[in-house]
């Protein structure tokens, strides 16, 4: 009998749509990622100012030092953290829009 490794899930694993959106983003080409960053940064309007300050601290802490797929790009760190800090309803709506945009390769509103 083999044992499964005991590790905690990533923050976005709890919602299948959010998980799929971020996994698709992870494997997207650079042009799609650039468009997706701009798209996700629009979440600033839905996230409180104190959360935004915490996000800037996270960017400073992890930029180029972390092990996550998005840690080498400061804008992507900020965009993903913005999504992470959003309320679950905003996360889900954003994830659905991100999935559709990535599938269509179109980030037009």
Residue 97 predicted with pLDDT over 80: yes
Spatial separation of the C-alpha atoms in residues 97 and 10, rounded to whole Å: 21
pLDDT range class, residue 11, cuts 50, 70, 90: confident
Q: 100 vs 3, 12, 57, 93, 107, CA distance in Å?
A: 37, 18, 30, 11, 9
Residue 7 predicted with pLDDT over 60: no
Spatial separation of the C-alpha atoms in residues 89 and 94, rounded to whole Å: 9
pLDDT score of 3 = 46
Which has more pLDDT, 2 or 45?
Answer: 45
User: What's the number of CA atoms in the CB half-sphere (13 Å) around residue 20?
Assistant: 14
Residue 100 predicted with pLDDT over 50: yes
For the chain, what is the mean pLDDT?
Answer: 80
Please work out, in degrees rounded to the nearest 5, the angle formed at the alpha carbon of residue 94 by the alpha carbons of 42 and 27: 100
């Amino acid at each position: 009998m083999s044992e499964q490794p005991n590790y905690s899930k990533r923050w976005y694993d709890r919602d299948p749509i959010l998980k799929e959106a971020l996994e698709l983003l992870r494997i997207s080409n650079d042009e799609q990622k650039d468009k997706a960053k701009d798209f996700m940064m629009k979440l600033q309007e839905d996230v409180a100012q104190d959360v935004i300050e915490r996000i800037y601290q996270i960017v400073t802490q992890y930029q180029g030092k972390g092990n996550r797929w998005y840690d080498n790009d400061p804008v992507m760190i900020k965009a993903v953290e913005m999504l992470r800090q959003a309320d679950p309803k905003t996360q889900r709506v954003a994830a659905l829009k991100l999935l559709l945009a990535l599938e269509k390769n179109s980030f037009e509103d």
